[in-house]
Amino acid sequence: MTISVGERLPDVTLVKATDAGPEQVSSSDYFKGKTVALFSVPGAFTPTCSARHLPGYVEKAGDLKAKGVDEIVATAVNDAFVMGAWNSAAGSDDITMLADGNGEFAEAVGLTMDGSGFGMGKRGQRYSMVVEDGVVTQLNVEAPGDFSVSSAEHMLGQL
């Protein structure tokens, strides 16, 4: 079942990409006490994700933070090394990469997709959410193949 607005994020382990290497974090601890703009992509370095999704959040980071967002988080069913390399190549210090290497977070929030037709296996869907103190206050799930409601621009309009 897909997570809904008003529900608390499930507690799973994610891996934060840091300069010192991968760091395991508990989602319940990580999202506690702050407002987070979270966006999920099917995969780092994939076309729409790299050309539009991540760059939009990089470009609008200051605007999101001016509207009360404490942190901007990107997640994907990739390992922390890939997520860190993606942030180095196309991201910024304003974006925190949380790897969901085994897809446990995507599964727990009910937002998985089957990318087997593209050789990608089970992945997280493209979506965004605003999380306040661990509770989802906005949820924007894209239709397959679309990119509009999970954009930074759309999220800005919700804040």
Query: What's the CA gap between 105 and 124, in Å, rounded?
Result: 8
Q: Single out the catalytic residue among 15, 49, 54, 74.
A: 49
In Å, how far are 76, 101, 116, 125 from 16, measured between CA atoms? 11, 11, 26, 19
The two tokens of residue 22 are 């991968």
Q: Reply yes or no on whether 49 is catalytic.
A: yes
Query: What's the CA gap between 155 and 140, in Å, rounded?
Result: 8
Q: What does the buried/exposed string (b/e) look like for 62-99 if buried means 16 or more CB atoms within 10 Å of the residue's CB?
A: eebeebebebbbbbbbbbbebbbbbbeebbeebbbbbb
Phi, psi of 144 (to 5 degrees): -50, 130
Q: List, in sequence order, every beta strand (DSSP E) within 9-89.
A: 13-16, 23-26, 35-40, 71-76
Catalytic residues: 49
